[in-house]
């Protein structure tokens, strides 16, 4: 069986034209074809019954009120990946003794069904969003924005004008250029490093309006959750400002708000009972290859792994590839000795080499890793991550060896069937 869980982009459409009276091994041919397609693992098939038509013998078959023809034309349509369609044609062509089989290249914009979409997509955004929102004004200085992010431990804030309209979005990444650090990193260091970062900002007259991102991707409070979640996943956003019909900010929809909607969802315990392609598991969506380091690797080794992988998390593993802990980029800076913090920060920003340090991956990591096997359903994975307040889940095999990583963005994209 194919491990594909969705079809997107280039695909092929297989169309089979037969008659309703055609048979194969004692059963209607269209049913035999459907069973063959299902056994091959095709995404799905549709049989359409015509009201009139003629075939190779030029005899017209029609649907009449007085009499129901038992040989009306049938059309069977299937859309799937090219290699799956090729397998289907090989099996089905000998079954069609009279009829026609055609192939067309198509573009699939979306393929899903209820088993792949556990989110209550018909809910309104207004029912799910967070209503208490911390905001910035365009006239604020960047240091005021920084301090507000630190106070509320937030990495992104909407910028709202005096009319309550969303005019921008400011993230800690936007402040990186002006402070040489992100608030999350500097806040974890504290003390002299934090004060120096703030001092650098205080000497600037730069306003929030000068550095904010605009225009802003937003959601309307009357949008469905399905529309908003797909928008978040498409743009790789952690949160969407929510506006009313007048364009004024009324809330924020975060990944957590969306993922909370599956907390009470029942997990299917018998995947084999579901249709083919309907089982979506962490193994099918996990991120690979996985950035890993060994417990005794040096600070320089850890920094190099961060830079090579482009990730903000690396996994500490033993010699058997068993996960021991996780290291975030903020851990690298916060857990080295204070004199080494500035050098570690510069190294992460590729502005210098990592300082000589006694720190190792073991001393930098957060021990205790949330794990799951590849067969774990996505809903169950989301529930575990939410319950334990984890941003990452490590996928392991039956021997507890690391295979991949799943984060909230991956879950959002998969659960929203984007």
- More confidently predicted of 335 and 178: 335
pLDDT tens-place string over residues 241-250: 999 999 999 9
102 and 144 in a common domain: no
| Residue 149 within any structural domain of the chain | yes
Residue 171 and residue 288 in one domain: no
User: Who contacts 399 (Cβ-Cβ below 8 Å, separation ≥6)?
Assistant: 320
Residue 27 inside a domain? The answer is yes
Q: Could you tell me if residue 117 is inside a domain?
A: no
pLDDT at residue 156 greater than cutoff 50 = yes
Residue 116: the pLDDT is 53
User: Residue 200 belongs to what domain range?
Assistant: 125-262
Question: Domain end: 230, 245, 262, which one?
Answer: 262
Whether 171 maps to a domain, the answer reads yes
Q: How many CA atoms lie within 13 A of 367 on its CB side?
A: 4
- Chain segment 2-14, per-residue pLDDT in tens: 334 456 678 999 9
380 token code pair:
């169950």
Q: Are residues 252 and 177 in the same domain?
A: yes
- pLDDT at 312 exceeding the cut of 50: yes
User: Does residue 276 carry a pLDDT above 50?
Assistant: no
Average pLDDT score, the chain: 85
Residue range 31-39: mean pLDDT, rounded: 95
The answer to the question of residue 151 being in a domain is: yes
Dihedral of the alpha carbons of 318, 283, 413, 224, in degrees to the nearest 10? -130
Instruction: Check residue 7 and give its pLDDT.
Output: 61
Q: How confident is the model at residue 294 (pLDDT cuts 50, 70, 90)?
A: very high
Q: How confident is the model at residue 87 (pLDDT cuts 50, 70, 90)?
A: very high
Domain membership flag for residue 73: yes
> What does the block give as tokens for 229?
């979640």
Residues 220 and 102 in one domain: no
Are both 368 and 303 inside the same structural domain? yes
Cα 113–Cα 225–Cα 247 angle in degrees, nearest 5 = 145
* 278 lies in the same domain as 402: yes
- How many Cα atoms sit within 13 Å of 245 on the Cβ side? 1
pLDDT (tens digit per residue) in 318-351: 999 999 999 998 889 889 988 898 888 889 888 8
The pLDDT assigned to 4 comes to 41
Average of pLDDT values for 155-179? 87
> In this structure, what token pair is assigned to residue 12?
């092929």
pLDDT at 113: 55
Global pTM reads 0.71
CA–CA separation, 84 vs 220, rounded Å? 40
Any bridge partners for residue 365, and if so which? Answer: none
Lowest mean pLDDT among 195-199, 402-406, 414-418: 195-199
Any idea what DSSP says for residue 94? G
Domain count of the fold of the chain: 3
Q: What is the pLDDT of residue 5?
A: 44
Q: Considering only CA atoms, which of 184, 251, 255, 259 is closest in space to residue 222?
A: 251
pLDDT band at 104 (very low <50, low <70, confident <90, very high): very high
Q: Over range 382-398, report the average pLDDT.
A: 94
Higher-pLDDT residue of 388 and 66 is 388
Residue 247 within any structural domain of the chain: yes
pLDDT at 298: 97
């Amino acid at each position: 069986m194919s491990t594909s869980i969705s079809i997107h982009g280039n695909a092929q459409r297989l169309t089979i034209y037969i008659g309703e009276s055609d048979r194969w091994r004692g059963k209607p041919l269209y049913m035999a074809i459907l069973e063959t397609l299902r056994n091959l693992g095709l995404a799905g098939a549709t049989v359409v019954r015509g009201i009139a038509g003629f075939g190779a013998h030029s005899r017209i078959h029609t649907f009449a009120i007085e009499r129901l023809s038992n040989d009306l034309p049938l059309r069977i349509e299937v859309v799937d990946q090219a290699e799956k369609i090729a397998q289907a044609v090989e099996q089905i062509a000998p079954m069609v003794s009279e009829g026609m089989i055609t192939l067309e290249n198509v573009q699939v914009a979306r393929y899903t069904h209820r088993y792949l979409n556990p989110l209550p997509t018909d809910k309104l955004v207004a029912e799910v969003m967070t209503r208490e929102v911390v905001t910035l004004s365009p006239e604020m200085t960047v240091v005021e924005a920084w301090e507000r992010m630190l106070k509320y431990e937030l990495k992104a804030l909407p910028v709202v004008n005096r009319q309550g309209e969303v005019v921008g979005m400011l993230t800690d990444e936007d402040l990186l250029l002006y402070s040489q650090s992100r608030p999350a990193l500097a806040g974890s260091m504290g003390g002299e490093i934090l004060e120096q970062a703030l001092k650098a900002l205080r000497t600037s007259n730069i306003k929030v309006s000068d550095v904010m991102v605009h225009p802003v991707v937003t959601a309307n409070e009357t949008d469905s959750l399905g529309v908003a979640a797909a928008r978040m996943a498409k743009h790789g956003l952690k949160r969407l400002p929510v506006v009313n019909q007048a364009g004024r900010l009324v809330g924020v929809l975060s990944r957590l708000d969306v993922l909370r909607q599956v907390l009470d969802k029942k997990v299917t315990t018998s995947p084999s009972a579901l249709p083919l392609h309907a089982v979506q598991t962490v193994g099918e969506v996990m991120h690979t290859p996985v950035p890993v380091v060994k417990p005794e690797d040096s600070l320089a080794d850890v920094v190099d792994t961060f830079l090579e992988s482009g990730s903000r998390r690396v996994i500490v593993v033993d010699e058997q590839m068993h996960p021991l802990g996780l290291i975030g980029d903020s851990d690298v800076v916060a857990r080295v000795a204070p004199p080494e913090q500035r050098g570690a920060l510069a190294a992460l920003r590729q502005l210098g080499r990592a300082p000589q340090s006694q720190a190792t991956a073991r001393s930098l990591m957060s021990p205790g890793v949330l794990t799951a096997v590849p067969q774990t359903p996505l809903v169950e994975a989301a529930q575990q991550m939410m319950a334990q307040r984890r941003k990452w889940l490590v996928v392991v095999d039956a021997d507890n060896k690391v295979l991949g990583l799943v984060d909230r963005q991956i879950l959002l994209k998969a659960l929203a069937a984007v």
